[in-house]
Amino acid sequence: MQNIPAELYEVAELDGAKSWQKALYITLPMLKPTTFFLTVTGIIESFQIFTPVYIMTGGGPGYSSTTMVNYLYQRGFQEFAMGYASAIGFILFVILIILTVIQRKVFRAEQITL
């Protein structure tokens, strides 16, 4: 927020903008790139949860706490089905690309003007 020019807020005050209008029309649009980056990296990180599941439950009982990365590990390094594990990794990649494209379109959408 320190990179948002103070002149924008000063001009908005001269035009009679209220504090919620400054937040809606200046602060939020200027923070869009940062918010997009944090959202994308957060979703990617959420798909990479492996260690807590592996240490605490091993993905069980059954497959009740298995994540995609845990399942990939089981298939690839415990059952030695490397081709299947590669396919899981590719599907994970495709899912993350699709989610990133969707988020990019959402963050590029124009704001509603009052």
CB atoms within 10 A of CB 21: 13
Can you tell me the distance from the alpha carbon of 62 to that of 84, in angstroms, rounded to the nearest whole number? 19
Whether 64 has a pLDDT exceeding 70, the answer reads yes
Domain boundaries, the chain: 1-30, 35-108
Can you tell me the distance from the alpha carbon of 53 to that of 51, in angstroms, rounded to the nearest whole number? 5
**pLDDT category of residue 102 using cuts at 50, 70 and 90:** very high
Burial class (CB in 10 A: 0-12, 13-18, 19+), 9: middle
Predicted pLDDT of residue 97: 96
Predicted pLDDT of residue 110: 59
Whether 113 has a pLDDT exceeding 60, the answer reads no
Angle between helices 82-108 and 32-47 (to 10 degrees): 160
